[in-house]
Amino acid sequence: MSWKLASHQQHHAVAPHIYRLHFGLEALRPRRSWDVVELRQSVDSDFSWSGTVLSHPSWGSLVELVEQPAGRQAQLSDYHGQLLARPGDQLPAGPASLEVRLRIKRDPQACYFGLGQRMGPMRRDPGSYCNWTVDPPSSGHHRGIASMYQAQPYLMLHRPGLALGLFLNSTWFSRFDLGLEHEDEITICTLGGEAELFVLAASTPAQLNRLLAQLTGFPMQVPFWSLGFHQSRWGYREQSEIAELVAQFRRRQIPLDVVHLDIDYMHEFRSFSFDPQRFPDPAGLAEQVGQQGVRLVTIIDPGIRFDLHSPYEIARQGCAAGHFLRNADGSPFTAYCWPDAALFTDYSKAEARQWWGDQQRFLVERGISGVWIDMNEPATFATPFSQGFSSQLPVPLGLASGEGTDATVHAEVHNLYGHQMAEATHQGLKRLQPEETPWVLTRSAFVGTQKWAVSWMGDNHSWWEHLALALPQLVSMGLSGAPLVGVDIGGFFGNTHAELFERWMEQAVFYPFMRNHSALGTRAQEPWAFGPEVEERVRQHIQRRYQLLPYLQQLAEDSHQTGAPILRALFWEFPDDPESALHEDQAMFGEAILIAPVTRPGHTHRQVYFPPGSWYDFWSNQVVEGPTFKVWPAPLGKMPIFLRGGRAIPMDSPRLSTAHGVERRIWWVFPAEGPGSARRSDQTLHWQDEQFRLEPSLPCQVVMRCKDTTLTREYP
């Protein structure tokens, strides 16, 4: 049975280049406190909506409905027909069980990107994609997985001269079908009885990213230390082991800024606790490693041990105040997680978010610098963890969430669980340390989470396939509005080996978030775990990261101000070059550096596509004029890296931590056409038509690389 939705249409521009279309089975429900959209008021624009076609004089027809939107009875299933709920669970009556379907004509001249975290090609068409946050099976992420930890119902269309964004502002389960069901159509389905679609129109991807940030929030500002190298492992079980780990990095002269503490540090896997025997003095540990320029980040899970009778007060406090998810009868909902039976905070309640944020005081008072939030899809187990690993068991869809005008069922806010946990954690850290820049790392996310947290792509494997998928995955996150991202270097599950680890480290130098992390029971993968030759090359890779930190800091600040990705698709920088949209195994690190990683065993050469312009080989004086293809040498330790002509890149002299000062700043200048002139006035470097801000009192060296020579000048 299906219904037409024409009687409840709303439409207006919320910005000169953002248009809102709303279709509902009933009158528009009130705005909720968790709405991620930041633009709501109607404004004047040049858009025109006919009832079926949205057009703009700059780009013509943008969205054309194949038919009037329709509604139908729904079920929660992926595109394979597999139910995503726990056995016997049903969607609650009302909006939760009503699906709205939009059918839109597909542009055959365009390529489609976005939709956030996926295991597959960067280009999304043809394909079908679900938006429902889950903890995928530990057997491994693969291309057939319909949903992962994050949900980003945002689709991007690109062709030269047009960048179009379609953001489905629905926190319910949704699905995007790009040409599978109907080859010439895009079908967008969502539960909830209404579909709110924001159409963002721009001439370039850069303009489109700014529009998305204006609509859903600009990426968070990150502290400088977080851009350094992070070391982690599930299995660092003793305080003394952490101290020795940091000492090893320093003895071996390998840069390090952060050590992450996985669930091993907790007492019986209780969030906001330290094991009194194994981690007796966390504040002392933080001070000890801090003297060596290293900070601590601790993992926190949403599952609070269901313990109302011990000195562990957080469970009693949360129950007394009604901060946890509730069953239909009002009793606290419990499920199994690391601490066995656990309670789960209801982050859709403003008071619960405030309370959760206040709990961060426990960590802040012990010298912890950042918070890593995990298992927040939310993930729960079928049996107690104390009995061993088990399968996942989804949270019931009908749990009561929120209160007042925010009151709803879990099915509506499931996709927001990690997002709201990140918001609560970030805001709590900010209240507790207003003079510090908060740093939060999250596994689950939604569109808008970029305001509150950095994210990583979850529990990958030590497979070449996962190394190959890492780059398009991270680039897609940037296209979807989330630029502060990374993957676990070397792979989390499984046993990595020397060649794979080194190739991964080569690529990870250019990740916005650079962390080496591995699972309990796997082989060690610290930088020195594969012998002295690999250690030396890995040391050089991490040193290169630290040399590039001033450039990366500029990119992070630009991202915060404009929404621009840090790791960019080629077509993002070269939108008028059709060839640039076809290469997902290369990327731009900002506007000036092109990387072409090796992602196959034994390969010592690879084909590289050079977009239009001059490209300087990082390792030699060779210069290539694009657009062109070339086979390029890529031995271990020398991944193909190219510097873009007409740009200048700031680099630092080597150091072991961002807490340590640098002796001088080095500006690498790459003329587009022959050597230009560089001069310094006050604290500004002038080169051609560009101006670059210099650090006061920091000596500066300008290295100008030309096709046949290298020119060097010292300032002062």
**What does each C-alpha distance from 227 to 55, 261, 551 come to in angstroms?**
42, 18, 11
Residue with tokens 């729904």: 74
The predicted model scores a pTM of: 0.96
**At the top level of CATH, which class does the domain 224-301+350-377+416-558 belong to?**
alpha beta
Has residue 716 got a pLDDT over 80? no
CA angle 15-20-22, nearest 5°?
A: 160
Fold of the 2-115+153-216 domain:
Immunoglobulin-like (2.60.40)
From the number of C-beta atoms within 10 Å of its C-beta (0-12, 13-18, 19+), residue 66 rates as: middle
Residues in a beta bridge with 10 = 22
Catalytic site includes residue 377: yes
**Of 437, 452, 504, residue with least CA distance to 482:** 452
Q: What tokens were used for 265? A: 């540090």
340 is catalytic: no
d(CA 148, CA 171): 15
- pLDDT bin (cut points 50, 70, 90) of residue 469 is very high
DSSP secondary structure letters along 203-254: SSHHHHHHHHHHHH-PPPP--GGGGSEEEEETT---HHHHHHHHHHHHHTT-
SS3 at position 620 = coil
C-alpha pair distances (Å), 365 with each of 75, 253, 287: 47, 30, 12
pLDDT of 79 reads 56
Residue of 459, 526, 535, 584 marked active site: 459
Contact 113, 153 (CB under 8 A): no
* Catalytic choice (374, 423, 506, 652): 374
pLDDT score of 192 more than 60:
yes
Q: Residue 70 has what pLDDT?
A: 83
501 to 217, 258, 490, 512, 539: CA distances (angstroms): 35, 19, 5, 18, 13
The pLDDT value given to residue 83: 60
Q: Which helix (H) or strand (E) holds 20?
A: strand 18-24
- Higher per-residue confidence, 394 vs 710: 394
Phi, psi dihedral angles at 96 (to 5 degrees) = -60, -30
Binning pLDDT at 50, 70 and 90, where does residue 4 land? low
Note the pLDDT of residue 8: 64
| Contact of 89 with 328, CB cutoff 8 Å | no
Which among 514, 507, 509 is positioned nearest to 484, based on CA atoms? 514
Count of Cβ atoms closer than 10 Å to residue 82 Cβ: 10
Apex 393 CA angle, 391 and 397, nearest 5: 165
User: What is the C-alpha end-to-end distance of the chain, expressed in Å?
Assistant: 77
The verdict on whether omega for the bond into residue 716 sits within 30 degrees of 0, i.e. cis, is yes
Average pLDDT in the chain? 93
Which tokens sit at 167? 């953001």
- Whether residue 35 lies in the annotated active site: no
For the chain, domain boundaries: 2-115+153-216, 224-301+350-377+416-558, 567-715
Query: At which residue do the structure tokens 């079926």 appear?
Result: 52
Share of the chain above pLDDT 70, in %: 94
DSSP 396: P
| pLDDT band at residue 265 using 50, 70 and 90 as cut-offs | very high
Tens of pLDDT, residue by residue over 588-632, are: 999 999 999 999 999 999 999 999 999 999 999 899 999 999 999
Amino acid at 437: T
d(CA 39, CA 34): 14
Higher-confidence residue of 313 and 75: namely 313
Indicate which residue of 135, 196, 301, 377 is catalytic: 377
Residue located via tokens 């502002």: 169
pLDDT of residue 1 exceeding 50? no
pLDDT at 713: 79
272 pLDDT more than 60 = yes
Could you report the per-residue pLDDT of 372-419, keeping only the tens digit for each? 999 999 999 999 999 988 888 999 999 999 999 999 999 999 999 999
For the chain, helix (H) and strand (E) counts, in that order, are 13, 44
Q: How far is CA 190 from the centre of its chain?
A: 23
Residue 466 has pLDDT above 70, yes or no: yes
Distance from CA of residue 644 to its chain's centroid? 26
DSSP 293-318: T-EEEEEE-SEEE--SSSS-HHHHHH
Q: Which of 60-74, 411-425, 702-716 has the highest mean pLDDT?
A: 411-425
pLDDT of residue 605: 98
**At residue 677, does pLDDT exceed 60?**
no
Taking phi over 0 as left and psi of -120 to 50 as alpha, with beta for the rest, 43 belongs to beta
**How many Cβ atoms from other residues are within 10 Å of residue 184's Cβ?**
10
- pLDDT of 571: 98
Residue 346 near residue 403 (C-beta atoms within 8 A): no
Dump strand ranges (E) for 380-439.
Answer: 400-401, 408-409
Other Cβ atoms within 10 Å of 2 Cβ, number: 10
pLDDT at 333 over 90: yes
Is the domain spanning 567-715 CATH 3.40.366.10? The answer is: no
Q: Given this model, what pLDDT does residue 80 score?
A: 57
What is the rounded distance in angstroms from the CA atom of residue 567 to the CA atom of residue 551? Answer: 13
Q: Does the structure show a pLDDT above 90 at 654? A: no
Between 474 and 405, residue with greater pLDDT: 474
| List of E strands, 458-596 | 485-486, 488-489, 514-516, 567-568, 587-589, 593-595
Rounded distance between C-alpha atoms, residue 259 and residue 245, angstroms: 9
CB 233 within 8 A of CB 264: no
Tokens 């969030």, located at residue: 271
**Span 423-447, average pLDDT:** 98
At residue 164, does pLDDT exceed 60?
A: yes
- CATH topology of 224-301+350-377+416-558 equal to that of 567-715? no
The tokens for 133 are 């946050």
| Contact present, 122 and 86 (Cβ < 8 Å) | no
Which bin fits 232, alpha (ψ -120 to 50), beta or left (φ > 0)? beta
Instruction: Give the position of tokens 């270097």.
Output: 489
Which residues, in sequence order, are CB contacts of 485 under 8 Å at separation 6+?
454, 455, 456, 457, 474, 477, 478, 511, 512, 513, 567
Question: For residue range 548-572, what is the model confidence (pLDDT) as tens digits?
Answer: 999 999 999 999 999 999 999 999 9
pLDDT digits (tens, 9 = 90+) for 64-105: 999 888 888 777 766 555 667 888 888 888 888 899 999 999
